[in-house]
Structure 1
Amino acid sequence: MQSFASRIVSHRAFEYFIIAIILVSAVLIGMETSEALLAEYGNLLLWGNRIVLTIFIIEAVLKMWALAPTVGRYFKDGWNVFDFTIILLALVPSTGEFAMIARLARLLRVLRLISAIPELRLIVATLMKSIPSMGNIMLLMGVIFYIYAVAGQQLFHAHDPQHWGNLGISLLTLFRIVTLEDWTDVMYTAMEMHPLSWIYFVSFVIMGTFVIINLFIAVVLNNLEEAKEERLKELRQPPTRDCLLRELDQTQKALEQLRKQLGETKPERLHQE
């Protein structure tokens, strides 16, 4: 039975089935946002959510069963812990003071798409690996923002106090500029007082937008390659003792079935001769 559970959870069709259930869960959550649909199909939505939760529980039990008797291996995988946590939160009663928590827990079920699709897991792993390097880039960006914010406040606060009145407003203005959202309007206002103000704005756009964003992309791509290499190493790891025993058991069953088939064909050949 353990090998049967292992074959089920590792089968591609089972993975597609879980992805489909997650998408159905997302549709049910979206339908609950409509008062009209909730009033007309409230019971159906309730039972739909219960069925989805039951399927998730069965999936977790099957995965634990496949790893029995060492169920602790199930919790060694961070994605399994993530899925199990979502299931526990979904069991919170949806009435009383826990109603809001229950609604948010149902919303978290959509995040299971990340754990169900290997490609999304790889992207998330890449982003997590990129956080330390991104911290250094954010520190560099913070220094650049601070220097330009102080300079902009000193240069333009008298002419355009709405955007450069103090250090905080100047930082918000620079954030608007770095997103390229109508930043030219701010530049033209400053150029009414200082015609050469375009040097300040263009240099900041080049420094803050193109250089910094390219650094972010470079870090993510570098960590993506590292994550792919780690994934390949995991796939190339030698099989465990349990895997070898399962493969040996399947091979013995196949040989036994082949012997039976050969035994059945020999009398037929002798009869024909």
Structure 2
Amino acid sequence: MDAIDIDDFVRAAAGGALRRLTAVDGAHWFPLVDVARRLGYAGPREALRTVTLPVWCLAPARELAPDAEILARSGIRGTARMVSLAGLVQLVTACRSPEAGPFRAWVGELVAEVQRHGGYGLEPAPAHGGFVLPPELVDVLVRLEGRFDEEEADLAEYAELLRETRRSLSRVADSLERSFAVPRQRGAGGAPTLSAQELVESWEISGDMRAVASFLAPALIRGGVRCRPQDVTRRTGLSGDRVRDCVRLLIERGCMREVGHPRPDGTRIYVLP
């Protein structure tokens, strides 16, 4: 799962949408000709003369998506030369387009943060618990969808509406989950062996500490969480002082550790030990 929606990232970097292929490993690739055109290069050759990309940033589309059907859906030819997300970022930072100025500034901030604190986290996006529907309601939608499928054809549009509702709920849930996540750093290890609930259970805690731990655990198993005490307060209902006490105790017990230094707004980054 991407920590930042790839379409949002590309719009911020290139100033607009780009066709893309997502490889089986989850990596995103873009037609070099599209990237060159969007960034104001005369063509792919000028782009590659301007930036000497490493070989691992370039690949033909047919190597990324051997299935011809996937290529057909994307509208990208198998012979098209593709550039990876890392290559796209290098091409953006080298172009002189004014529209790329904010993104270049953000890349500079990112590098400075990594050098100083050893990592870079995402600011928590505004979130509201009311957007997350309980599983019971989702189950009702599934059952209704099945009933509509069995009725007359004039109910087909309602069935499709329910399907789109389910898809929208799934996207909202994923977005809320990503809002409090810090991207896992490359080389930080494999997939977590424990679920968030199993992790909290392994800590053998209860009461307020468990409430705080349950909020932090889903992001911790994905690599880390970046938040302020008021973010936890809003989701748990505990006071700011109580949240700080619980976090301190979790750190003292070795359940997690803090990375880097607090931001002026009180934001801190926590990861598993």
Instruction: Please state which band the TM-score falls in when normalised by the shorter chain.
Output: under 0.3
TM value normalised by structure 1:
0.28
TM value normalised by structure 2:
0.28
Looking at secondary structure, tell me which structure has more helix per residue: 1
Tell which structure's C-alpha radius of gyration is larger: 1
